[in-house]
């Protein structure tokens, strides 16, 4: 899968660095013209642009993380909160991160406790969503078979994921940063909620003009992880359920130990969504 | 059913509050540690800029002191020298599918990003399913180690969960330290930086302040291997911690139930669901 993906990405993205340097040069040239409005000689402008480009390239190579996202003081309290959330959710935006040894050591300890804590919350929220979905559908029709309940909850989680992606994108575009296109916001939302978090674009840069909005966004991000986690978990479970006899035959587990722990866990899971306080419906043909 | 949902709702709310408090405290500490260093860095940056611009133009220097120009310029330019050749792109795909997402390399074309979403939606669950299988192998290995330990040290003959957790933690540490040593050797990083990078990768946080640049086949294979091994071992450790926290929460809520007399119990089936979601 990785190999195939690599071929596709390679084809799609090859050569884009040069394109971006070209775009960068255009931006630099514009700055040059702004600074020297009276300069009319094309040659001079080109020369200054080339000089400034090499300056930028050297700055980019210098590795000073401060230069990438302009911030007056990223490490205000809000910056600390941003990094804390970014760490504990494992998104790891990467536009702001600790660089001192003390900060890094603290981060290690902070995550060892914070990540399980956050996962615990996400777990409970996800379980709550799943139970609520199940309860809602149980109310309507008492005679759901187990598998259709599972499918229902899966569909509900997918619906939640799509809804939250759309709503969050709208918030990012209209609430936080109008310059972003809707597609960019959507992509950013997706990358955040899956906790991939590329970090070429975080949503906080040290600009403390919008404290309330940034804090609100941080909280929303944490909460929004639950539906996607639930969705991914359900898909994994479905794959494992379908594959479990096959895997068992492959000798994935030692015979005798909490055997195909997978099968046992899957049965447990099926039991959970199987409306245990209702009588089994005789015909599962639904 | 109603009781079960109430219990979960309360558990969700309680854990949310705990997380918020934890974040609030952590933020203050991060700020305290990093703020002064940042001021230092800003001075360095302005000095660097000054030095570099000496050869260019007086006017430039004056205007570009305003950082906003540089932002625009730097945002438009790539900060990576890797091209999208096959092997580095495989590593990129790995960062997507493991959700690490370093960010030193990322798609910029619309088609690339669209494909990325599609690739992730399938790849992440696929990878997690694979991890689950590998994790079982690792768990079996750890159980075997525990058995051998027991025969060597001669203790009780039943399975002891604490011993297993300790062995898992030790195993995880060994993986981290070994991989860090290899990275230090191969990439030339300080050992502490390697350990930090390894930790950030294995938790899937993946800031991307450090990233691998070596370019030989053996390195790529070892990198992928160690990332997977590390994700499993640290993942198991963190999952064990999550379960411990949940048990602790159950204990607390059971105590509260005595006091409040209402249905605050976090039931056993909730905990297994919690594990499932994670």
Q: With an 8 Å Cβ cutoff, are B205 and A27 in contact?
A: no
Tell me the range of A197-206, A211-220, B102-111, B251-260 where mean pLDDT is highest: A211-220
Q: With an 8 Å Cβ cutoff, are A65 and B209 in contact?
A: yes
Q: What is the pLDDT along chain B (278 residues), one digit of tens a residue?
A: 444 667 777 778 888 888 888 888 888 888 787 777 777 766 776 676 666 666 555 655 555 544 445 555 555 555 444 567 788 888 889 999 999 988 888 887 778 888 889 889 888 888 888 888 888 888 888 888 888 888 887 766 666 777 888 889 999 999 999 999 999 999 999 999 999 999 999 999 998 888 888 888 899 999 999 999 999 999 888 888 888 888 887 777 777 666 555 544 444 455 555 556 65
Could you tell me if A242 lies within 8 Å of chain B, comparing CB atoms?
A: no
Contacts of A276 (CB under 8 A, 6+ apart): none
B208 three-class SS: coil
Q: What is the pLDDT of residue B1?
A: 40
Q: What is the pLDDT of residue A166?
A: 92
Radius of gyration of chain A (CA): 25
Which of A86, A117, A123 to probe by mutation at the B interface, max B CB count within 10 Å?
A: A123
Of A81, A218, A99, whose CA–CA distance to B29 is shortest?
Answer: A81
A231 to chain B, minimum CA–CA distance in Å? 9
Name the more confident of A267 and A194: A194
Of B106, B147, B180, whose CA–CA distance to A257 is shortest?
Answer: B147
CB contacts under 8 A, A 69-108 vs B, are 69-70, 73-88, 90-94, 97-104, 106-108
Q: What is the pLDDT of residue B202?
A: 95
Q: Angle, to 10 degrees, between the axis of helix B110-153 and the axis of helix A2-13?
A: 150
Contacts of A118 (CB under 8 A, 6+ apart): A88, A89, A222, B19
Indicate the residue of B81, B113, B274 with minimum beta-carbon distance to A187: B113
Is the pLDDT at A76 greater than 80? The verdict is no
Q: With an 8 Å Cβ cutoff, are B23 and A84 in contact?
A: yes
Sign of CA dihedral B234, A235, A86, A118: negative
Name the more confident of A4 and B219: B219
Is the pLDDT at A143 greater than 60? The verdict is no
Cα-based distances in Å from A200 to A12, A95, A197, B117, B142: 19, 7, 9, 16, 39
B195 near B181, Cβ under 8 Å? Answer: no
Mean pLDDT of chain A, nearest integer: 73
Interface predicted TM-score (ipTM): 0.73
Q: With an 8 Å Cβ cutoff, are B103 and A198 in contact?
A: yes
DSSP state for residue A254 in the 8-state scheme: -
A130 near A160, Cβ under 8 Å? Answer: no
| pTM summary value | 0.74
């Amino acid at each position: 899968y990785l190999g195939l993906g690599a071929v596709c990405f390679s084809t799609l993205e090859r050569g884009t660095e040069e394109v971006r340097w070209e775009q960068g040069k255009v931006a630099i040239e514009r700055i040059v013209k702004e600074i020297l409005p009276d300069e009319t000689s094309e040659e001079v402008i080109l020369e200054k642009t080339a000089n400034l480009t090499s300056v930028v390239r050297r700055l980019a190579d210098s590795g000073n993380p401060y230069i990438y996202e302009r911030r007056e003081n990223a490490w205000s309290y809000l910056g600390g909160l941003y990094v804390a959330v970014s760490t504990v959710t494992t998104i790891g935006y990467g536009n702001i991160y600790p660089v001192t040894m003390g900060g890094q050591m603290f981060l290690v300890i902070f995550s060892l406790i914070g990540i399980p804590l956050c996962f615990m919350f996400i777990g409970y929220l996800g379980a709550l969503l799943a139970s609520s979905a199940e309860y809602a559908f149980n109310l309507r029709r008492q005679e759901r078979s187990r598998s259709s309940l599972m499918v229902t909850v899966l569909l509900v989680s997918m619906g939640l994921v799509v809804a939250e992606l759309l709503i969050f994108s709208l918030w990012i575009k209209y609430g936080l940063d109008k310059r972003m296109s809707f597609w960019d916001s959507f992509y950013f939302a997706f990358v955040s909620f899956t906790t991939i978090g590329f970090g070429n674009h975080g949503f906080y840069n040290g600009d403390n003009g919008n404290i309330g909005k940034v804090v609100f966004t941080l909280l929303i991000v944490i909460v929004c992880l639950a539906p996607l986690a639930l969705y991914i978990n359900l898909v994994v479970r479905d794959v494992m359920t379908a594959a479990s006899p096959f895997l068992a035959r492959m000798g994935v587990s030692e015979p005798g130990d909490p055997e195909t722990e997978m099968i046992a866990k899957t049965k447990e899971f099926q039991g959970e969504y199987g409306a245990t306080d209702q009588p089994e419906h005789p015909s599962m043909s639904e | 059913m109603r009781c079960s949902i109430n219990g979960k709702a309360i558990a969700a709310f309680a854990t949310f509050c705990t997380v918020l408090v934890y974040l609030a405290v952590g933020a203050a500490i991060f700020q305290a540690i990093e703020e002064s260093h940042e001021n230092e860095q800003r001075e360095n940056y302005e000095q660097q800029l000054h030095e570099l611009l000496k050869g260019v133009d007086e006017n430039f220097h004056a205007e570009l002191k305003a950082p906003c120009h540089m932002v625009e310029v730097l945002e438009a330019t790539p900060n990576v020298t890797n091209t999208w050749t096959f092997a580095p792109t495989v590593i990129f795909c790995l960062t997507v599918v493991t959700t690490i997402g370093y960010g030193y390399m990322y798609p910029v074309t619309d088609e690339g990003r669209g494909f990325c979403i599609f690739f992730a939606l399938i790849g992440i669950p696929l990878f997690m399913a694979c991890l689950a299988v590998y994790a079982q192998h690792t768990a079996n290995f750890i159980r075997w180690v525990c058995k051998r330990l027991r025969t060597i040290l001669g203790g009780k003959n039943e399975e002891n969960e604490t011993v297993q957790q300790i062995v898992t933690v030790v195993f995880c540490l060994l993986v981290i330290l070994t991989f860090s040593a290899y990275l230090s050797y191969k990439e030339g990083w300080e050992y502490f930086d390697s350990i930090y990078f390894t930790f950030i990768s294995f938790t899937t946080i993946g800031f991307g302040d450090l990233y691998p640049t070596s370019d030989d086949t053996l390195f790529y294979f070892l990198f992928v291997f160690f990332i997977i091994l590390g994700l499993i071992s640290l993942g198991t450790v963190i999952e064990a911690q999550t379960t411990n926290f949940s048990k602790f929460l159950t204990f607390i809520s059971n105590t509260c139930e005595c006091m409040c007399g209402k249905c605050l119990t976090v039931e056993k089936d909730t905990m297994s669901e919690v594990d499932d979601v994670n």
